[in-house]
Amino acid sequence: MTDAGLTPYRAVRKLLPRLYPGSTVVLIGVGGLGQFGVQYARALAPRCTVVAVDVDPRKLEIARELGADHLVQSREEDPVAKVRGLTGGEGAQGVIDFVGSDATMAQAWAMAGRLARVAIVGLAGGKLEFNAALVNEAELTTSCWGSLLELSEVLELARRGVARPRIRRVGFEEINEAFDDLAHGRVEGRAVLVPA
């Protein structure tokens, strides 16, 4: 919870000043951090529409189980067009990119609506081309980790069952298999090494 739980919590909190009942929050990348992001968006902005975007259909189904209202499989459909369609052309009021690639950062910025806030969390090394002619007054920020106060809030949400980590326990004899699964995106949530 001190990393994978805290980082998305801070990112979702950064969006809250831009959200209102009926607004839309988009989470790009619903792996380990994004799954927490879905839960926090649902808990902290319960009257908003939560949209999960990912390339992996299984991760999207997990996002649905955790409270996402709409799923966008970005290998099959254009996530920007989908979000624009879901919002009647307005765009989202809050977007978090948990990937941070060139493509996802461009998508996050393109789907931002008027006065939206976009938070980049992912560390994939992408670059975002910025055009000053954009007149929707959207705001771009980054988000990394969190404060001691935010951690106490995260731990309380976990204690109350609002934020549920998905954990795969791994013994020492399975460590190489677990590393391979992590490298190939086959771990849902987090792998935790548990000594026998």
pLDDT digits (tens, 9 = 90+) for 56-90: 999 999 999 999 999 999 999 999 999 999 999 99
3-class DSSP state for residue 192?
strand
* DSSP secondary structure letter of residue 123: -
Residue 1 has pLDDT above 70, yes or no: yes
Residues 88, 180 within the same domain: no
Task: Please state the domain count of the chain.
Answer: 2
In a domain, 152, yes or no: no
pLDDT at 188: 79
In a domain, 150, yes or no: no
In a domain, 159, yes or no: no
Residues 109, 186 within the same domain: no
Both tokens of 167, joined, read 């954990």
Residues 51, 120 within the same domain: yes
pLDDT at 146: 92
Residues 130, 195 within the same domain: no
pLDDT at 134: 67
In a domain, 192, yes or no: yes
Residue 133 has pLDDT above 70, yes or no: no
Residues 33, 126 within the same domain: yes
Residues 136, 46 within the same domain: yes
CATH number, domain containing residue 122: 3.40.50.720
Residues 31, 108 within the same domain: yes
**Rounded alpha-carbon distances, angstroms, from residue 139 to 51, 108, 127:** 19, 11, 16
Beta bridge partners of 48: none
Extended strands (E) in 14-138: 24-28, 49-54, 70-73, 92-97, 112-120
| pTM metric for this prediction | 0.90
3-class DSSP state for residue 34?
helix
Residues 83, 172 within the same domain: no
In 78-114, which positions are buried (b, 16+ CB within 10 angstroms) versus exposed (e)? Answer: ebbebbbebbeebbbbbbbbbbbbeebbbbbbbbbbe
In a domain, 186, yes or no: yes
* Cα dihedral value 157, 185, 92, 84, nearest 10: -150
DSSP string, 135-174: -S--EEEE--S--HHHHHHHHHHHHTTSS---EEEE-GGG
Task: Give the model confidence (pLDDT) of 90-103 as tens digits.
Answer: 999 999 999 999 99
In a domain, 58, yes or no: yes
Residues 126, 94 within the same domain: yes
Residues 64, 110 within the same domain: yes
Range(s) of the domain holding residue 96: 6-142
Residues 38, 120 within the same domain: yes
